Structure 1
Amino acid sequence: MNLSWHDKHVKMYDQQIAKKIAGYDLLYDLTNHFISKHHQPIQKMLIIGAGGGQELYSFSAVLPNCCFTAVDSSEPMLARAKERMEQIGNHVEYVLSNWQDYEGTTQFDAASCLLVLNFIEGIEQKTQFLKKIYDSLKPGAVLFIATMMNDDEYFMKLHLSAWKNYMLQQKVANEHATKFEETYEKSYHLLREGELISLLSSCGFTSVGHYFQSFLLAGYICIKGDSNTHQ
């Protein structure tokens, strides 16, 4: 959020993002609860945008024996993830790469893509991005995705005004909160909920459910279906 993923201040990301997103920790807590209740064992999990280490740190608490593949295009952010995981002990493969350029062949039981899709331009690129995730998952696997969303003009303005108010309450500098409000639609490549669900369905996900909302940030759980998905 108005932060260079390659600058020297990347270690401040943990504190900054939690102040700017209401319920940031709750997003990970809720995701953990869904992970723990997934109908299939999760032995291999893909994390797209793993830099910073929040997903690894959070998910390892409920998946202590899982092998994680952590993909991120920012070397400083990936280094921060490694630093946070030093004392945890999970097996993690760190991959410095854009997801679009990732060449792994592993089939995963689960994947997360939190606060990444909104940086991917255009419907075609988003479709290719999501289809690649789908193809990397086993039948019955689960994807957790959270992204900044679009809305009607009135509600967009209302959300952004309230969001700015939240940031100011969290002691975010007025200039940063104001810039976020004024540049939101230009800073992110946004979809409406119907568009996102349609894209996910077109890629092959058979079940998509909304499980998190914070102002214009929404989280969805998506299942790559098979004959035993809901048994």
Structure 2
Amino acid sequence: MKDFNSDEYAAMYMKDMEAKIPGYSLMFDLIFHGVLPVEAKEVHSILSVGGGLVEVMKSHNAYEDASFTLVDPSESMIGKIQEELEEYNISEYAEFKCSSFETYENKRCFDLCLSLLVIHFVGDKEQFLRNIYNSLEADGLCVLSAFSDYHLDWWETYAIHNGANAEQVGNTRKNPQSTMACTSADEIEMIANNIGFHGIEKIAQILSVDVWLLKK
């Protein structure tokens, strides 16, 4: 697993994600320019579980007047995002909570939750999604993406070609469950349905990344 508390990793986070995740920018364009303008026209509060600068900036551009709360267990990751936001003069837009989402105590509900490329690092996926469900307003939405075990041969070739660390990529390819806790689309759908989400829809699959829209 990644050491997200490392200042070194926090500094290279975006480069690492763009190298390893096929269609990383496309994923955000799809979510913010395709799906959310149709499904979430009125958003007053946003919860981001994990993530980085892209989530903050895209949310600010789409919902400038909404409140934005980011929960992340890594002080290094939060510090890096805060540092970058200072350069854009929107540092006051986001509220940060340093906590694992499994233990985060939430006293409010949100219209929209973003959980992008996080759930595969979580051991108890059912509790993780249940916490998201309980953090949403009655008609709230969650956009979720997950690393799966689809097309790992293609993914390995893609990531190494784009400059990702070949040893890390190889370890993930050989042991996807132990290094990334990969989950299948069927498992995500089953868990989300059991918790009570409706309108469960896989809106995209890009090699080894699935993108979901979940409605409460």
Structure 2 length normalisation: TM-score? Answer: 0.91
> Could you tell me how far apart the structure 1 residues matched to 2:71 and 2:145 are?
16
Aligned partner of residue 102 in structure 2, secondary structure: helix
Q: Could you tell me the percent identity over the aligned residues?
A: 24
> Could you tell me how far apart the structure 2 residues matched to 1:134 and 1:64 are?
24
Question: Aligned pair count?
Answer: 212
1:124-171 C-alpha deviation (Å, 9 max, x unpaired): x22221111111111211100011224xxxxx5xx1211111122213
Equivalent position of 1:228 in the other structure: none
Structure 1 length normalisation: TM-score? Answer: 0.85
Equivalent position of 1:203 in the other structure: 195
Instruction: Compute the displacement of 1:112 (Å).
Output: 0.8
Equivalent position of 1:223 in the other structure: 215
Question: Any stretches of 5+ residues in structure 1 without a counterpart?
Answer: 151-155, 225-231
Letter in 2 for 1:220: W
The reply on whether 1:47 has 2:39 as its aligned counterpart is: no
Map 1:47-86 to 2 at 5 A. 47-50=48-51, 52-86=52-86
Letter in 2 for 1:3: K
1:15-71 C-alpha deviation (Å, 9 max, x unpaired): 111011110111111111222222551010000013x32211222211111110110
Aligned partner of residue 138 in structure 1, secondary structure: strand
Letter in 1 for 2:114: S
The reply on whether 1:20 has 2:17 as its aligned counterpart is: no
CA contact (8 A) 2:176 2:182 kept: no
Aligned partner of residue 7 in structure 2, secondary structure: coil
Q: Which moved more, 1:164-173 or 1:98-107?
A: 164-173
Map 1:72-151 to 2 at 5 A. 72-86=72-86, 87-89=88-90, 91-121=93-123, 125-150=124-149
Map 1:177-192 to 2 at 5 A. 177-192=169-184
